[in-house]
Structure 1
Amino acid sequence: MKKVLLPLLILMVSVATMAQQLPKSPNYQANDRFEQMGTMLPTPNSYRAASGAPGREYWQQRADYDIKAELDDDNRRITGSETITFFNNSPDELKYIWMQLDQNLFKKDGIGATSRTGTISEKGMSTTQLEAMNNGRGSSLDPKKEYGYEIAAVKDKAGKALPYKIVNTMMRIDLPVAMKPGTNVVFSVDWSYNITEYYGRSGYEYFPKDGNANYFIAHWFPRLAPYDDVNGWNHKQFLGQGEFALIFGNYKVAITVPADHVVAASGECQNYAQVLTATQKQRLKKAETSKTPVIIVTQAEAEKAEKRENKSPGKKTWIYKADNVRDFAFASSRKFIWDAMQTDVYKDGRKIWCMSIYPKEGNPLWEQYSTRAVAHTLKSYGARTFEYPYPVAISCHSVAGGGMEYPMISFNGGRPEEDGTYSEAVKYGMIGVIIHEVGHNFFPMIVNSDERQWAWMDEGLNTFCQYLAEKEWDFNFPTRRGEPNQITDYMSSDKSVLSPIMSSAENVIGLGPNAYAKPATALNILRETVMGRELFDHAFKEYANRWRFKSPTPADFFRTMEDASGVDLDWFWKGWFYGVEPVDQDLVSVDWFSIDTQNPEIEKELARKEAARKQATISKIRDAQTKGETVVAQDSTMADFYNRYDPYKVTDADRQKYEQYLAGLSQSDRELIQNNTNFYTLSLKNKGGLPMPVIVKMEFEDGTDSVATFPAEIWRFNDQEISKVISTSKKVTQWTLDPYFQIADIDTENNSFPRIAKPTRFQIFKQQQLRRAPNPMQMQGAGAGKISSDPKN
């Protein structure tokens, strides 16, 4: 509805708008939402500065490992011995040491099994499934085997036994003498365990067709728990969902496997000369200068090894060295194909090995894409954080879906059909998971956050960087997480199933959307809408460089992003990370005001049109057919001056009066009137609760459009409903909130004024049996087929 606004009232608009901001409900929380976080964050100290940077006395512990281990392929078993040098860099005396025994997750009476819940299906269950439900360990475990660590010995440097106590997935080692600050202790642990089937993080995959297994071995040796300035000893139990909290150190690892196996591991292999054939060593040399991946172990060689013609192949020991890493993992199989290339030279003259390890079941996808995706990830992530510091990055093809990350090596899914064809989803899913898992080298393998407590600090930041890297791989990459409109279904869920991002990883319902998608989306919104790309990128890079090879907390991230950008983001952290409210802005109404210009050329024409509009009643429209039959039309003597008078005609007197009026106005007032400015009052409600910037698109009657953006602080006096005055020189025909889906608004139906009705579409179909549809490559007869790798290509 249009309303006329007299010029003298223009100055009152801002005052009236302020009055409309005052809260009408006692439940408003605007002051809470926009106050500083204050005591919600830990008090800064000499270890962690108020800026978010490491403090002047920052410290962290270190543990060096010398490990010797053997993989028993026949019995699916690991046996190992490790010597650990633990450095107490803290200012505290330590009477005991805590170690992590993650394999104890699978013990029958362990906390992982006894805390798991489930129900029995009415459709029936197998005895294996019932046993799995009863013991809580999962149906993939062999009920005849015992799982978890068997600790054979814990000894000091002199070989004397050290007392220890196992508490579920943790082990306390009591020291004979307390460790003073700045000292170190050397001790050893001997252990063994039965390998589980691959469960998403570690284990083996068995191939019944050829009788072989691929091994992906991680959290396989007892590891030091962190002791830090925030938690003291971090000995939160491993329940399977929360990942790992670890400290840096140097590793020397000797891995003994069947002689026909190919091994890939964290770090650099120290004895390729002993474990590779002459031909393989030549190929590796060629790969040093190749711009494309070179096959080191061919598919033909892997297929020959699969047949196990030599029933007793003997053993080989692969020796690896990895410096300044927080963990160590490896993969081993006789089925592995191996390709490699080196990246372009870094600024400091280094070149990085990019490698892929995969069975024939991964081809043709893996040979074509994996190593290239590894190299792309290092380049993309490096541009927004820091240059990749390690000598190698390896992608291993594990079980079909998902992935898992460790320093310099990752286990990734994505498998084509047996005929070599694949769907678009499989292709992009594989590339995406490789980018994600290799990207984890940056978060948390180098920026070493505590995954057991804060899953989002690695998964969320990494998913955000993955989202950007995917778009740099292919403009049309079907990204799954990062765009604001991809998180709206989750954010509109019932609050009973929602957890704040700032929840312990083991306690989160819906870890994927909570720890991956929501924080990644939040960062994208910060970059695109709240801060802008330049400020965000500078601050994010500052955070990564401040905390590389150190251990940040959430407060360090929050503070650094504000410190380096100069943007107050406390309202954002509270809403997105500490709360579960969604975004739902409602454009309730728009009132249109225009200035009474007193220009007769304009005002009388407007009055004429308005009078004509009001006269266009249904009766007038129908009576027009007989207007020639009226008395005045039939008898001209019945017409006088007023039958000829036009009240909307502009006269000289009208023009003279207007000129006198203009002469009495200031220059700015004259410009305002002569521009024929329109004023619109938008009434908005924050129905979701989470305050966000207001972004509104105006479509004008001449076919053009414009977008106005107002910061989230627009809600600071009233977080429930506000009014906002917008002036334009052109008339607006349509208003739309969040036109480019920037703020994750869960309900777009109330974002338009006037409202735009959207139909609900339905489909008529006949009932049919569900079956797996062929992928487009199969339907088009474009089967890629299995390829046999040729090192000459």
Structure 2
Amino acid sequence: MRRISFARIFAAVILITFTTGAFGQQVFDNKDEAFTEFGYRQGSAYRTASGKPGPSYWQNQADYMIDVALDEENHTIKGNIVITYKNNSPENLDFVWLYLEQNRFTPDSRGTLTTPVQGNRYNGDIDGGFTIENLKAQVSGRNKPVSNDYLISDTRMRVTFAEPIPANGGQASVSMDFEYKIPEKGMDRMGRVKVKDGFIYAMAQWYPKVAVFDDVTGWNTDPYLGAGEFYLGYGDFEYKVTVPFDHIVVASGELMNPGQVLTKEQQRRMKEASESDERVYIISPDEITDYANNRPKQEGTQTWHFKMNNTRDVAFASSKAFIWDAARINLPSGKKAMAQSVYPKESDGDEAWGRSTEYGKASVEHYSEMWYEYPYPVAVNVAAEINGMEYPGLNFCSFRSKGASLWGVTDHEFGHNWFPMIVGTNERRHAWMDEGFNTFINYYSYLAFNEGEYTNNLIQTRRYINQLTNKDREPIATHPDRTQSNNLGMSAYFKPALGMIMLREYVIGHERFDKAFKSYINTWAYKHPQPNDFFNHFENAVGENLDWYWKGWFYSNATIDIGIDGVYPYGANYVVSLSNHGEMPMPVLLEITYEDGEKERRMLPVEIWFKGNQWNHLLRVDKKVASIEIDPDKVMADVNSANDKWPSAIYAD
């Protein structure tokens, strides 16, 4: 190709570049759409414009006392629950809504009826569902009779009281007996699996739980379908699980009766583990079936007693097939917690679950140091027939995982303790606020673990160009149960994580971003932020109006395509002609390379696009420029790399 005359290009600058962009490249004028105000985010007494809980912010509380028995022969759970509910809202409540999530596993549940014929990740058994008996509901301190008035609709249950629960602190109790069959396929979140030495029961969504009543929606009663996960209030849990004598139970929270369910040797080992940075076997691979030495009882049943305060949920696992190991977690304040892992013989080995406790310990210590200290007494990783699912202080991960795969899923599920366990977002509606934020913090955990033993390429945003330009893509803000299955990973996990990566590494910078994100976590810990609370808090903390960013990246399918149209002499300096060929504006980081080999970086603010999608930047320099490149580290998810550099191919022979 013939070299283009530089004189001709300079003449074109006067006629073309300063007005519409060089070489006839198409430039769209989207300034009005990009920079208009995003949503209505005025504050209130409940949630302030600065993104904090307001002076009248409230949330209700539900405390749980649960006593259940696991029947291994029939694969059932049966027991009793007593819920103490405190109404801190400013209105009287005639009823409460509860979730009965095991009702998802019935032939006519909404979840079953909306599962595609070919199935998906959220397939579940259809021979289960709750049996509810002996329901009693009463407002505390009132004389009206106990009510047993209730309605069950799919995975929801409305319990009506004989008189309203008073506003601003009134209390009531709801109790009932319940029973259900434990599914084998529990939507990849819970269930049971047979391994060589017995069944593993991964128990979640295992008890009736109160739905959230908040100042945004009132009662949050979206049905449990599939992709949409959970939105739960906070409270104190005390629960007892009776299992066959040969089972080991691990669970969310603190084991309250180790002297009754562990041998003296196991108690000694547990103490040793609490003081060790290396894993200590509580039950070794050779001891799994040695019941005579490893179980306090040799027949009948054992009752394991657990307690966990200020949590939104609890889960547990039970099996006679568990290898069990543990190690100390060191927290920034000097406090300690315990990393634990349970897994069958099939999962043993240093290339597999033999490193699980190492992974869990490293993950929790990293997030505690970088963002917010881990609040729970244990961090338990359970090997089960589940690809990865999180609960407060406890994960279920695939018993087949090993190596980088096991590290990745373990780290991801433990990361969920920050989102949504500590920061209590509504997963059922806003999956990106937990999955996306968690995928983002996972990137830095990968970098930190064992000096980068495993690779995470999230920062290479341009690897995702095909998904970011797919004609069938959906915005991040799409409700997870409405998102097409093949889009969910991008919409809920990767795109929001990429958005946070770009904010930290490109738009805002580490110092301002980290202070803002830590402040958001600390401010909304054990509370219920909405998307606007995050947007408001982050903007106030970093001191930027980011309407253009939230709207473009989180609430639309806008693409980024910033290009260099040309670079032209202008006296002793240069004019760099830039165009925004995409729908989303971005700041522009230029790396200038001089003829002597020196490099320099300069950032142009997003405001250069306020008046249109073409901008001519006067580049003041004191030596000759050899080349210029936009976003040299390729952090910005620009969908067209061909126009990032000058000189480009158009200048070459």
TM above 0.5, yes or no, is yes
- Aligned-pair CA distance for 1:396: 1.3
Corresponding residue for residue 565 of structure 1: 542
Q: Is the 8 A contact 2:458 2:498 kept in 1?
A: yes
Structure-1 residue corresponding to 2:583: 689
Which of the numbers 244, 254, 266 marks the counterpart of 1:258?
Answer: 244
2:539 and 2:108 map into 1 onto residues whose CA distance is: 47
Residues 183 and 192 in structure 2, CA contact (< 8 A), matched pair in contact too: yes
Whether the 8 Å CA contact 1:110–1:168 is kept in 2: the answer is yes
Post-superposition Cα deviations, 1:496-552, rounded to whole Å, max 9, x if no partner, equal x22221222211222211111111111111111111100000000110110111111
Residue of structure 2 equivalent to 1:322: 308
Kept in 2, the 8 Å contact 1:371–1:395? The answer is: yes
- Aligned partner (choices 392, 397, 413) of residue 407 of structure 1: 392
The one of 735, 740, 746 equivalent to 2:633 is 740
1:462 counterpart (438, 461, 475): 438
Q: Does 1:453 align with 2:440?
A: no
Q: Which of 124, 129, 133 lines up with 1:152 in the alignment?
A: 133
1:582 pairs, out of 559, 582, 588, with: 559
Does the aligned pair in 1 maintain the 2:27–2:579 contact within 8 Å? no
Q: Secondary structure at the match of 2:607?
A: helix
TM-score by length of 1: 0.75
- C-alpha distance in 1 between matches for 2:357 and 2:40: 42
Deviation at 1:17, TM superposition (A): 8.2
477-486 vs 236-245, greater mean Cα deviation? 477-486
> Which segments of 5 or more consecutive residues in structure 1 lack a partner in the other structure?
120-131, 417-425, 596-676, 758-793
- The one-letter amino acid of 1:381's match is Y
Contact between 2:459 and 2:635, CA under 8 Å: does it hold in 1?
no
Contact 2:352 2:403 in 1 (8 A): no
Structure 1 residues 179-233: Cα deviation after superposition (integer angstroms, max 9, x where no partner): 11111101202111111124321111222x44x2111100111100000001100
User: Are 2:6 and 1:2 aligned?
Assistant: yes
Partner of residue 475, structure 2? 500
Quick check: 1:442 aligned with 2:418? yes
Using the aligned pairs only, state the percent identity.
36
**Deviation readout 1:380-409 (Å, 9 max, x if unpaired):** 21223322122221111223x631111111
- SS of aligned partner of 2:222: coil
CA deviation string 1:558-578 (max 9, x = no partner): 111111111221111111111
> Which residue of structure 2 aligns with residue 631 of structure 1?
none
Cα deviation 1:741-769 (Å, max 9, x = unaligned) = 11111222332334349xxxxxxxxxxxx
Q: SS at 1:445's partner residue? A: helix
- Residues 276 and 26 of structure 1, relative CA distance in 2, 3 Å threshold: closer
- Taking the aligned partners of 2:574 and 2:27, their CA distance within structure 1 comes to 31
Question: 1:105·1:240 contact (CA, 8 Å) conserved in 2?
Answer: no
Select which of 448, 464, 467 maps to 1:472. Answer: 448
Equivalences, count = 632
Match of 1:191 in 2: 178
Mapped pair 1:352 → 2:327: no
* Correspondent of 2:621 among 721, 728, 742: 728
- 1:19–1:430 CA distance, 2 compared to 1 (3 A): same
Alignment of 1:49-60 (within 5 A): 49-60=48-59
| Contact map agreement 2:98 2:156 (CA 8 A) in 1 | yes
SS at match of 1:507: coil
Q: Which of 223, 228, 231 is matched with 2:214 structurally?
A: 228
Equivalent positions of 1:660-671 (< 5 A) are: none
Displacement over 4 Å in runs of 4+: 3-6, 15-21, 24-27, 157-161, 303-306, 308-312
Corresponding residue of 2:34 = 33
The answer as to whether partners of 2:262 and 2:295 remain within 8 angstroms in 1 is no
Instruction: Tell me by how many angstroms 1:31 deviates.
Output: 2.5
How many Å separate the matches in 1 of 2:209 and 2:145?
19
Task: Decide whether the 8 Å contact of 1:487 with 1:521 is kept in 2.
Answer: no
SS of residue paired to 2:417: coil
Match of 2:648 in 1: 755
Report the counterpart of residue 127 of structure 1 in structure 2: none
Q: How does 1:279-298 map to 2 (within 5 A)?
A: 279-298=265-284
- Between the aligned partners of 2:634 and 2:332, the Cα distance in structure 1 is 38
Moved more, 231-240 or 286-295: 286-295
**Residues 20, 723 of structure 1: 8 Å contact kept:** no
Residue among 388, 391, 410 paired with 2:377: 391
SS in 2 for 1:506: coil
Shift of the 559–116 alpha-carbon distance from structure 1 to 2, 3 Å rule, reads same
Q: Structure 2 vs 1, CA of residues 319 and 229 (structure 1 numbering), >3 Å: closer, same or farther?
A: same
CA contact (8 A) 1:195 1:204 kept: yes
| Cα distance in 1 between the residues matched to 2:415 and 2:8 | 59
Q: Distance in 2 between matches of 1:41 and 1:437?
A: 34
Pairing of 1:357-372 with structure 2 (within 5 A): 357-364=342-349, 365-366=351-352, 368-372=354-358
Return 475-484 or 50-59, whichever deviates more.
475-484
Change in CA separation of 1:195 and 1:295 when aligned onto 2, cut-off 3 Å: same
Of 160, 163, 171, 1:174 maps to 160
Give the TM-score, by structure 2 length.
0.90
Matched to 1:686, the amino acid is N
**Which AA in structure 2 matches 1:749?**
A
CA deviation string 1:71-111 (max 9, x = no partner) = 11122111121000010010011111100111111210110
Q: Is contact 1:2-1:591 (8 Å) kept?
A: no
Distance 1:108 1:480, change over 3 A: farther
1:373 equivalent among 359, 371, 375: 359
SS of the aligned residue for 1:343 comes to: strand
Once the two structures are overlaid, the 10-residue window that deviates more, 552-561 or 384-393, is 384-393
Describe the superposition over 1:717-741 as per-residue Cα deviations: whole angstroms up to 9, x where unpaired: 113x333332434433444332211
Code of the residue aligned with 1:147 in structure 2: it is G
Deviation at 1:486, TM superposition (A): 3.5
Code of the aligned partner of 1:66: M
Counterpart pick for 2:498 among 517, 521, 546: 521
Confirm or deny: 8 A CA contact 2:372 2:518 kept in the other structure.
Answer: yes
Structure 1 equivalent of residue 141 of structure 2: none
**Cα distance in structure 2, aligned partners of 1:311 and 1:186:** 36
Give the residue type in structure 2 aligned to 1:205. Answer: V
Checking the alignment, whether the CA contact within 8 Å between 2:27 and 2:580 is kept in structure 1 is: no
Question: Aligned ranges for residues 520-669 of structure 1 at < 5 Å?
Answer: 520-587=497-564, 589-593=565-569, 595=571
Contact kept, 8 Å, 2:331 with 2:369, in 1: the verdict is no
Q: Separation in 2 of the partners of 1:36 and 1:298? A: 60
> Is 1:277 matched with 2:268?
no
Tell me: CA distance 1:309–1:94, structure 2 relative to 1, closer, same or farther (3 Å). Answer: closer
The 3-state SS of whatever aligns with 1:452 is coil
Do structure 1's residue 200 and structure 2's residue 182 form an aligned pair?
Answer: no
Aligned to 1:625: none
**1:668 corresponds to:** none
- Relative to structure 1, the CA distance from residue 724 to residue 345 in structure 2 (aligned partners, 3 Å threshold; closer, same or farther) is closer
Cα distance in 1, alignment partners of residues 128 and 212 from structure 2: 25
Query: SS at the partner of 2:481?
Result: helix
> How many Å separate the matches in 1 of 2:639 and 2:180?
48
Partner of 1:679: 574
Aligned 8 A contact 1:414 1:429 in 2: no
In structure 1, how many angstroms separate the alpha carbons of the residues matched to 2:533 and 2:331?
A: 32
Are the equivalent residues in 2 in contact too, given 1:150–1:192 (CA < 8 A)?
yes
